[in-house]
Chains A and B, each alone.
Chain A
Amino acid sequence: MTQLHTATHPHEADAAALRAREALLPEVRALRVLGTEQAAGADPDLLLSFHRRLVTGRRFNEQVTTLTRQGMLAGYPSSTGQEACQIAAAQVLRPQDWLFPTYRDALAVVARDIDPLQVLGLMRGDWHNGYDPRETRTAPLCTPLATHLPHAAGLAHAARLAGDDVVALALTGDGGTSEGDFHEGLNFAAVQRAPVVFLVQNNGYAISVPLHKQSAAPSLAHKGVGYGMPSTLVDGNDVLAVHTALGAAVERARGGGGPTLVEALTYRIDAHTNADDSTRYRPDSEVERWRRRDPVLLLERELQERGLLDEAVREKAEAEADALAAMLRRRLGAPAGLDPMDLFEHVFAEPTSQLLEQRDMLSEELRLDASQGPAGGAHR
């Protein structure tokens, strides 16, 4: 009887469900912090560290793009214009947290203090990634779209089962939100209340296809609502806003509140890769408009207003960027020194007899090549 009396009336239950759903709806306006009163409370050291990292990150993008044009990398999907997302993503994670990056997120991985040469392996044509995922708590850069989102959900779920204080942050783009694995990953995470944060870097284009042909949803953040996860919209060029939104989402996950979707509105200033001609599908005026909202520019404006940007600050950031660029030129210019015999390593824990036969064949070919010297022809 007691249960009957305390049971919620159906209409009350509907109203509660409606309120719960409405609570999940993202704000229509993207969160901005720079240039607002909220920014005034930000720690000057944090702002200056963001500045240094943004300037260095920009130089990383530019230098690697140049080296790609010079043929030292097979390709490089630049994140110029998206540095605020990359830096903030790396910044909100503690060492025990996991990052699940895509091919365009090399900078976020570098910002986790992982050796850039190891991060660029995939783009360079070297073995996929040189860093140890378990040691660095960073998954390999993912090339297929959104397939790493279920990985992040599964890993976060496993960490939670183990009672570990670990959060996973998975990055994807606007194009990735159309893939099935985006939905399966979010759904799994939500059902399991896994401590995972999904950051969608909406940079306007999936190679050449603009957002309005990608999704008819009011925003990509709205997609989280259907899975029952809170979702927020943030100015992706405002490093403090991205940091604030991701920080809140990470804390929520850590506190057992389950996953969050964060959509960051940003822009890819460069083409998809050096193989892409972006003038075919977007006007220069659009690019110019976004250049005026450059993440470095927005932060420098804030720093200037607070009297934090002087020559010394600029010089220090520039010097760090110069050193990184010089290191990239030097190390990417050196031979990679790959051993063809490594082709047979790490296919299985133990090579099959078929692989051993093929290993012998290649070994013999290499021996003959070496014995014939550089003048040896292609045919033996």
Chain B
Amino acid sequence: MTRTSMGKALNTALRDALREDPAVHILGEDVGALGGVFRVTDGLAAEFGESRCADTPLAESGILGSAVGMAMYGLRPVVEMQFDAFAYPAFEQLVSHVARMRNRTRGRLPLPLTIRIPYGGAIGGVEHHSDSSEAYYMHTPGLQVVTPATVADAYGLLRAAIACDDPVVFLEPKSLYWSKADWSEDRPGEVPPPGRAVVRREGRSATLLTYGPALPMCLEAADAALADGRELEVVDLRSLVPFDDETVCASVRKTGRAIVVHEAAGFGGAGAEIAARVTERCFHRLEAPVLRVTGLDIPYPPPMLESHHLPNADRILDAVERLQWSDEPAGRTGERGRHAVDA
């Protein structure tokens, strides 16, 4: 085993997909000679040629629209959108065509497309380089939305996305590109399929439901919570669409308490959907309302202030204390929270 970064695992996934299936084509801005601004396509144009890993004109709608046509002709395009907010010009293609071509043609024209979007903040990026856009894509029927939080998942989920006969929005957490794990490209190992959530840490006090860039802070909070005698279970959703109600509800029914944690703004976000689903399914097993710890409801702030916007282990721990513990003195609930958390 070697220490491998998530970026490298993604690169390996693309390389293996290109090797195994001649229908796979990568296209995007700067994916060729430069190897992508995050180097995720590093070396692929050199190895597979410029038609398999193609630099395109700088036009996201055109990139995705061309990929639609390529998929119509039987290819499996993998599109890179470079940065979250740069994908917005392609939004019309995504919602008006990519998401519904299968449905519109009654299954005759599925679009096996992967749309890679580096997303999220905490890398000191200027505006338009740190958005968490998952809720836009989740709200569009016909799109699968997945996001890895571990190196092994980065490889496994991306391979699965490319092999999928449906369009997949593949959200790459920028802050984890350089995170490393013991992982070998010679033996990448099996990961659960997209659509399955995974319990990353067992616990019985409360469940943290999270995905992508927020997983490490949840694990950190779970470590710290032990000091207060709280054993937090951490569930990595991995896939927002399809959503794994089964694993999520099994965990919440076990612990009786749940907090959804994500970087994106809370209002109308993924956490709202997840909290509602959990409440609908586990109401009689819940000891407290499902809470959310999220980014603030503001446009992504300048880098010098982003630490105040982003959720972190402290805010998660504050929220844990608001979960109406029976061993707490009455009236204490909510007082410890320094930060506003929806309750």
Stretch at the interface among A14-22, A81-89, A340-348: A340-348
Is there an interface contact between A129 and B62, defined as CB atoms closer than 8 Å?
A: no
The answer to whether B69 and A184 have CB atoms under 8 Å apart is no
Residues of B133-169 contacting chain A, CB below 8 A: 141-142, 144, 164-166
| Contact in complex: B51, A161 (CB < 8 Å) | yes
Please judge, given known A-B contacts A140-B104, A144-B92, whether A348 and B70 are in contact too, CB under 8 Å. no
B165 and A349 contacting across the interface, CB-CB below 8 Å: yes
CB-based contact A128/B57 at 8 Å: no
> Contacts A147-B92, A180-B89 given: A154-B104 contact, CB under 8 Å?
no
Contact present for B93 and A188 (CB under 8 Å): no
Binds B, one of A48-56, A131-139, A248-256, A279-287: A131-139
Q: Are A348 and B59 in contact (CB under 8 A)?
A: no
Q: A159 — which chain B residues lie within 8 A by C-beta?
A: 73
Partner of A133, one of B93, B109, B245: B109
| Residues on A with beta carbons closer than 8 Å to the beta carbon of B96 | 144, 147
* A151:B106 contact, CB within 8 angstroms: no
Contacts of B65 in A (CB 8 A): 147, 149-151, 153-154, 181, 184-185, 188
Contact between chains at A153 and B73 (CB < 8 Å): no
Given contacts A147-B93, A184-B65, contact A354 B70 (CB under 8 A): no
Complexed CA–CA distance, A150 and B177 (Å) = 31
B72 at the interface (CB under 8 A from A): yes
Asked if B83 is an interface residue, CB under 8 A from chain A, the answer is no
A191 interfacial by beta-carbon distance below 8 Å: yes
| Residue B254 interfacial (CB < 8 Å) | no
Q: A144-B96, A158-B75 are in contact. Are A129 and B66 (CB under 8 A)?
A: no
The count of chain A contact residues (Cβ–Cβ below 8 Å) is 43
Question: Which B residues are CB-close (under 8 A) to A162?
Answer: 73
How many B residues, CB 8 Å from partner? 47
Against A, the Cβ 8 Å flags (1 = close, 0 = not) of B107-122 are 1111000000000000
A128 partner residues in chain B, CB cutoff 8 A: 104-106
Contact B56 A188 (CB under 8 A): yes
Let me know if B72 and A133 touch, CB within 8 A. yes
Using known A-B contacts A150-B61, A150-B62, A181-B62, determine if residue A156 contacts B69 with beta carbons closer than 8 Å: yes
Is B103's CB within 8 Å of the partner chain A? yes
Give Cα distance in the complex from A149 to B75, angstroms: 18
A154 in contact with B107 given A162-B73, A352-B241, A353-B242 (CB within 8 Å): no
Determine if A220 is an interface residue (Cβ-Cβ < 8 Å). Answer: no
Judged by a CB distance under 8 angstroms, whether B232 is at the interface is no
CB neighbours (8 Å) of B164 from chain A are: 349
Residues of A within 8 A of B68 (CB): 150-151, 154
A157 interface contact, C-beta 8 A = yes
Q: In the complex, A139→B104 CA distance in Å?
A: 11
Secondary structure class of chain A's binding surface, majority of residues: helix
Residue of B nearest to A135 (CB): B108
Residue in A144, A152, A161, A184 with the greatest tally of chain B CB atoms within 10 Å: A184
B62 and A349: CB pair below 8 A?
Answer: no
Q: How distant is the Cα of A154 from the Cα of B62 in the complex, in angstroms?
A: 9
Measured CA separation A219–B266 after assembly (Å): 49
Q: Which listed residue (B57, B69, B74, B243) contacts A352, Cβ 8 A?
A: B243
B97: which of A132, A151, A352, A353 is its contact (CB, 8 Å)? A151
| B92/A185 in contact, CB under 8 A | no
Determine whether the beta carbon of B73 is less than 8 Å from that of A347: no
Q: Which of B26-74 contact A (CB under 8 A)?
A: 51, 56-57, 59, 61-62, 64-74
- Report the minimal beta-carbon distance from A380 to chain B, rounded to whole angstroms: 21
- Least CB distance, B20 to chain A, in whole angstroms: 18
Q: Are B61 and A181 in contact (CB-based, < 8 A)?
A: yes
Q: A129 contacts B104, CB within 8 Å?
A: yes
Beta-carbon contact of A150 and B69 below 8 Å: yes
Q: How far is the CA of A348 from the CA of B100 in the complex (A)?
A: 9
Q: What residues of chain A lie closer than 8 Å to B59, measured between beta carbons?
A: 180, 183-184, 187-188
CA distance A246 to B54 in the complex (A): 30
Residues of chain A within 8 A of B106, CB atoms compared:
127-128, 130, 345-346
Is A108 interfacial (CB 8 A cutoff)? no
> In the bound complex, how far is the Cα of B246 from the Cα of A139, in angstroms?
39
Bound-complex Cα distance A180 to B141 (A): 25
Bound complex: CA A134 to CA B93 (Å): 20
Min distance, Cβ A357 to any Cβ of chain B, angstroms? 9
Supposing A153-B69, A347-B102, A349-B166 touch, asked if A180 and B61 sit within 8 A by C-beta, the answer is yes
**Residue of B106, B141, B246 most packed against chain A (CB within 10 A):** B106
Give every chain B residue within 8 A of A156 (Cβ-Cβ).
69
Beyond contacts A133-B109, A154-B69, A158-B73: 11 other A-B pairs, Cβ-Cβ < 8 A, are A144-B96, A148-B97, A149-B65, A154-B67, A155-B72, A157-B70, A161-B75, A185-B65, A188-B62, A191-B57, A353-B245
* Chain A to chain B contacts (Cβ below 8 Å), 9 pairs: A127-B104, A133-B72, A144-B96, A152-B69, A162-B73, A180-B59, A188-B62, A191-B57, A349-B102
Q: Nearest 6 pairs between A and B by C-beta?
A: A150-B65, A154-B69, A184-B62, A154-B66, A155-B69, A158-B73
Residues of chain A having any CB pair with chain B under 8 Å: 127-130, 132-135, 139-140, 144, 147-159, 161-162, 168, 180-181, 183-185, 187-188, 191, 345-349, 352-354
